[in-house]
Structure 1
Amino acid sequence: MIKTALELLVTQLNLHLGEAGSKPVTLGNIAQLENQDSLPTEASIKDKVVLSLVNLEEEKTMKNGPIHKLHNGRKELAERPVHLNMFLLFSANLTHYDLALERLSQILLFFQSHRGFDFHRHNQPEKQLPEGFNVQLDLHTLSFQEINDLWGSLGGKQVPFVMYKARLLRLEAESSGEPAQPITAIDLIHGQRN
């Protein structure tokens, strides 16, 4: 699901930013910046805006919920879905600094006008997406210390970038199909002594 969501975001950005046939945005690991010359051509991050997933966090406010589902009129036990927030780094790894800033501006404007993505509208037939598969994007501002820590952990020089928090990607395993047993009686053993 994570890969699918990121690929669909890249596709939408490329449709918006790219001239005919060009793909200015790619999904890749910006930590490979120093090794970009050794990457295969199709995985190259040179002269591209690189989308990298730099962190995942569980949305704890969505943890409470039923542990059963209704399936064909009967209740079945089910694990609660995991709701994830993804921290997405868009790094403008371009030779010309002015073009890098222009690309970042275009990305900011795109996400300002497209805050939410309901991926069922953009679904490719080969991708099976669950119902309600959507992502909301919010600009995420880092302090100077966090920027230093981020680029230090990525092991490279800093390039122009912007970070977004993509909220509420829902991951859910298939239901076990085990029927939920109804509560039929409550036995209280009160004050019993041996």
Structure 2
Amino acid sequence: MINATLQFLATRLNNRLRTRQSLQENLVVVSRLFENDGRESEQSINKLNLFLVNVSSESNARKNATTTFDGYRNVVPSKQVFLNLDVMIAANFKNSNYSESLRYLSKTISFLQDHTVFDRTNSPDMPIGLEKMFLDMENMGIQELNSLWSILGGKYVPSVLYKVRAVALGEGYSYYSPYVIQFPEDASIGIV
């Protein structure tokens, strides 16, 4: 699901940039900037690079549905996965292409600010299993930015960080008939 999310975003950004900028090739790639040995990744040069910075669970998402019927509390476990993906978009353009990096990064931010939610109604071509995506630009202070780029092992390039809240189905990638766990209504249990 994580790869599908990043590939979907890259495809959407490529479609927009090719249409608006009359480009012949894909400008956005899902790629890290540096290889494990510290060398710059060949496919990252003169591209907008999407890469994963962090994964966390969505703490506000409700994982189980609880209803009361005939004196029993019914708990229906959810197979949905709620993830927060911190996704960096870095414009890795070299030498005299620096102004291009700023231009394409601006176009990317404009597109993502206009498209903060992707779901089946506005994007029927979303990958199977991915149901919704919410995008929020993250603000980072200089110290946080310095720490992040130190962890990444490289020198800063113009970039932006987005939190992508993704809702996906469980591993089976299909809706299912949920099972129900029943508890007497007056039972003291710690299920939320």
Q: Same fold (TM over 0.5)?
A: yes
8 A Cα contact 1:63 1:80, kept in partner:
no
Listed as ranges, the gaps of 5+ residues in structure 1 are 69-74, 188-194
- AA in 2 matched with 1:7: Q
**1:155/1:185 Cα in 2 relative to 1: closer, same or farther (>3 Å)?**
closer
Q: How does 1:16-95 map to 2 (within 5 A)?
A: 16-18=16-18, 19-32=22-35, 34-36=38-40, 39=42, 44-66=43-65, 78-79=77-78, 81-95=80-94
1:96-134 CA-to-partner distances (Å, cap 9, x unmatched) read 11001001110111112111111562427xx4335xx11
Match of 1:142 in 2: 140
SS at match of 1:61: coil
Aligned residues: percent identity? 27
Whole-Å separation in 1 of the counterparts to 2:110 and 2:178: 48
8 A Cα contact 2:28 2:50, kept in partner:
yes
Match of 1:157 in 2: 155
Whole-Å separation in 2 of the counterparts to 1:21 and 1:182: 58
8 A Cα contact 2:64 2:75, kept in partner:
no
Whole-Å separation in 2 of the counterparts to 1:117 and 1:186: 41
Structure with greater strand percent? 2
**1:80/1:157 Cα in 2 relative to 1: closer, same or farther (>3 Å)?**
same
8 A Cα contact 2:7 2:30, kept in partner:
yes
SS at match of 1:128: coil
Listed as ranges, the gaps of 5+ residues in structure 2 are 68-73, 188-192
Structure 2 length-normalised TM: 0.75
Whole-Å separation in 1 of the counterparts to 2:143 and 2:83: 25
Structure 1 length-normalised TM: 0.75
- AA in 2 matched with 1:146: E
8 A Cα contact 1:123 1:129, kept in partner:
no
8 A Cα contact 1:77 1:179, kept in partner:
yes
Q: How does 1:92-107 map to 2 (within 5 A)?
A: 92-95=91-94, 96-107=97-108
1:138-162 CA-to-partner distances (Å, cap 9, x unmatched) read 1101111110110000001110001
SS at match of 1:66: strand
Whole-Å separation in 2 of the counterparts to 1:15 and 1:185: 53
Whole-Å separation in 2 of the counterparts to 1:160 and 1:81: 35
